[in-house]
Amino acid sequence: MTPSPAPYISAHGRARIVKILIIVGAVSSGFSLLVEALSLGFPPPLEDQELSENVIGAVIALASFMLAIFDLLIYIATVVFFLIWLYRAYDNLRAFDPWSRLSYSPGFAVGSFFIPFANLFVPYRAVKELWQKSRGPEDALLSEPSPPASFPLWWLFWLSASFAANISFRLTVTENVPDSTATFVMILADALFIVAAFFVYLVIDAIDKRQEEASGKLNLGKLTGPPPPPSYLPGAVAPMPGSE
């Protein structure tokens, strides 16, 4: 039985939004890293210290707080739009090759990011498959190529940044741990997040270009208009040549 082709809906617009959010998040993380580094030399005022005695420390602490809120909002927006893009792009694989067997469904590819332990490897495998199978059925006879080096590098730096951020949070809420120690780890986490953002930008861009090229070759996503109306109504007498 021949599977019915699935509709193709371009994910290019969604990919563009995600890439913009990634750039904004990376720039914001860079400012956060700078402010955190300055806080090592100018720590925030102590509880029994007057504000006038440490104005620079107070300003840096306020800037750090505001950047933290902005970073959180951008992070949430990036995650939401990234998952929306991932679902749409993964669902397009059925349009490229209805006979292809996918390892995951679009819903599971998105949900795997929230499953403990599975989120350590399944999301990467899903994104890897997304790139490999974003091609036409005639290319399916060939062996699946390996993704660009940006794919494993993205996942390596993303996991490293996540672990560093988790450790920094635990150090912050742990007593008898100097604030400078947690700040050092957070600076490391921000640096890793910036590198991860660079590589995930390349990953999204590579998948988006691959799908756009494949859809262009297969003429997918192009609506065909209704057939042109007849030159005369059925049952009517056709006009004689030269009678116009």
Domain boundaries, the chain: 12-45+54-217
> What is the rounded average pLDDT of the residues 93-118?
90
Q: Mean pLDDT over all residues of the chain? A: 85
Q: How confident is the model at residue 232 (pLDDT cuts 50, 70, 90)?
A: very low
User: Whole-angstrom Cα distance, residue 74 to residue 189?
Assistant: 16
d(CA 220, CA 225): 14
For the cut 90, the answer to whether the pLDDT of residue 222 exceeds it is no
Please state the rounded mean pLDDT for residues 106-122: 95
**Residues 190 and 39: beta-carbon distance below 8 Å:** no
How much of the chain, in percent, has pLDDT values that exceed 90?
55
Is pLDDT of 230 > 70?
no
- Cα 12 from chain centroid? 12
Distances, alpha carbon 108 to alpha carbons 86, 117, 135, 147, in Å: 11, 14, 21, 21
Residue 220: strand, helix, or coil: coil
Q: What pTM did the predictor assign?
A: 0.83
Residue 231 pLDDT grade (very low, low, confident, very high; cuts 50, 70, 90):
very low
